[in-house]
Amino acid sequence: MTVSTIFRKIDDYRWELPKTGAMRVPGLIYAAEKMLPKFEAERVAEQVSNVATLPGIVGYSLAMPDAHWGYGMPVGGVAAIRADDGVISPGAVGYDISCGVRLLRSDLLARDIRPNLPKLMDALFRAVPSGVGSEGHLRLGKEEIKKVLKKGARWAVEKGYGEREDLELVEDGGWLEEADPDLPSERALERGRGQLGTLGSGNHFLELQEVEEIYDPGTAAVFGLFPGQLAVLAHTGSRGFGYQICTDFLRLMQDAARKYRISLPDRQLCCAPCGSREGRDYFAAMCAAANFARANRQVITHSIRQAFMQILGQGSTALGLRVVYDVSHNLCKIEEHELGGAKLRLAVHRKGATRAFAAGRPEVPQAYRAVGQPVLVPGSMGTCSYVLAGTDIAMRETFGTTAHGAGRMMSRTQALKRVDGRELMAQLKGQGIEVRSASWRGLAEEAPFAYKDVSEVVAACHGSGISRKVARLRPIGVVKG
């Protein structure tokens, strides 16, 4: 089957998947035409169609330019579902709940830290544990973990891991008040007990980056970014804790789907009505996992600052390491959006997709409300990352959503067949990038060629108007799980 028979072209960056069979809404894919064969090869259209059958879905079943095959729903998928009479699905959120990125800007020039870069990377590698099953420097008891689940990043700041100002520049102020710390299982609590302040493995990372190009000087100035500047980008989530929440509730939702007689084309999309006990419990447990993830990134922020002060011998004020933004890309949020002239209360499932809220929305921090929310789109290891901003077009078309990264295009097994971890580290060092990793295998699995070209993904986001380019950053140092 050719691309032309599957998708109906709307314009250069929009492709409709017509409503057929049990689909309640059409599908809509954002991509340049040359990206479509990969979408077809990965059966993204099939999963977009499946998501379109979920009860209560409105508008379109969406796929962002970085979309690829995922558990039930494509990574890079978006589904907005009526919160009053629709469903909520763990598979449409993902295993690593509230996986996301945090960007720190500095008052330093990247060229000035070059002489200290190896020592700084060593210090960061020690300060922020990485790798499979990695545990941090904090070992919390059950009651203290529950405080983390209730307060999120606020808990970390109250304990001295960061500054009050950090919370003013992150999504939701760093916490979700709907969290219920009593819902996660004992197994989830045990898995999360020692993992606060850690990166984990897979595609998670901590990067030192140089601001290489500014596209929108006015917005960049509001975000505190300038050419040649040193910045730090951290990508991680709720670790084993969030993974266990998803695992536990997928089992529960299988039963719930049968109980409420919900017909599904793929059991991985198992779900329950938002207002049911199962739906409410999942949402509250998911929020607890999100709070864990926000606290995790806040503790990591503190560790980054400590490492910088130790190696560079400068205080926090002189370094100017301040939060630009922190945003999740695996989450379901209850939001109000306008559709067809009516305001709807929606459960917006974003799986491998990030908010891109426009100027004026109350959810955008006051400091950015005149220009729109910062959007952080990391590339693959060794390639550039982007800072974008939310747009009115995103609010109208995608429920305020855009792409979250490069998007994988090759399996980890395939990547391992093409490169050795030591060889890859040498290649990156030749490009001026210092790399620290807990695993040679893990490093090879995340080779840059295993991912789509992030610049092409961003070009589709910018070209379609669902976010706009502000700045490009290139890595000079990477801590990899």
Report the pLDDT value the prediction gives residue 2, as an integer from 0 to 100.
47
- The DSSP code for 178 is T
Indicate the length of the chain as a whole number: 481
Percentage above 70 pLDDT, the chain: 99
Strands (E), 92-204: 100-109
Report the pLDDT value the prediction gives residue 382, as an integer from 0 to 100.
81
Q: What is the pLDDT of residues 69-102, one digit of tens each?
A: 999 999 999 999 999 999 999 999 999 999 999 9
Give the pLDDT band (50/70/90) at residue 406: confident
Residues annotated as catalytic (active site), given as ranges: 404
Q: Are 267 and 254 in contact (CB under 8 A)?
A: yes
Question: Cα–Cα distance between 189 and 141 in angstroms, integer?
Answer: 9
Residues 139-164 as b/e (b if ≥16 CB within 10 A, e otherwise) read ebeeeebbbbbbbbbbbbbebebbbe
Q: Are 399 and 444 in contact (CB under 8 A)?
A: no
- The pLDDT of residue 322 is above 50: yes
- The pLDDT of residue 158 is above 80: yes
Q: What is the largest CA-CA distance in the chain?
A: 64
DSSP-assigned letters across all residues of 29-91: EE--GGGHHHHHHTTHHHHHHHHTTSTTB-S-EEEEEEEE--SSS-EEEEEEEETTTSEE-GG
Q: What is the pLDDT of residues 244-265, one digit of tens each?
A: 999 999 999 999 999 999 999 9
Q: Are 236 and 134 in contact (CB under 8 A)?
A: no
Question: Cα–Cα distance between 461 and 481 in angstroms, integer?
Answer: 28
- The pLDDT of residue 219 is above 70: yes
Report the pLDDT value the prediction gives residue 274, as an integer from 0 to 100.
98
Report the pLDDT value the prediction gives residue 327, as an integer from 0 to 100.
97
Sign of CA dihedral 256, 258, 263, 267: positive
Name the residue with higher pLDDT: 409 or 405: 405
CB proximity list for 317: less than 8 A, separation 6 or greater: none
Coil, strand or helix: which one is 7? coil
Angle in degrees, CA 14, 18, 24, rounded to 5? 115
Whose CA is closest to 78, among 101, 55, 99, 51? 51
Q: Are 440 and 398 in contact (CB under 8 A)?
A: no
Helix, strand, coil: what percent of the chain each, to 5?
40, 25, 35
Q: What is the pLDDT of residues 173-213, one digit of tens each?
A: 999 999 999 999 999 999 999 999 999 888 899 999 999 99
Q: What is the pLDDT of residues 114-151, one digit of tens each?
A: 999 999 999 999 999 887 777 778 888 999 999 999 99
Coil, strand or helix: which one is 1? coil
Average pLDDT value for residue range 338-357:
97
Question: Cα–Cα distance between 7 and 1 in angstroms, integer?
Answer: 11
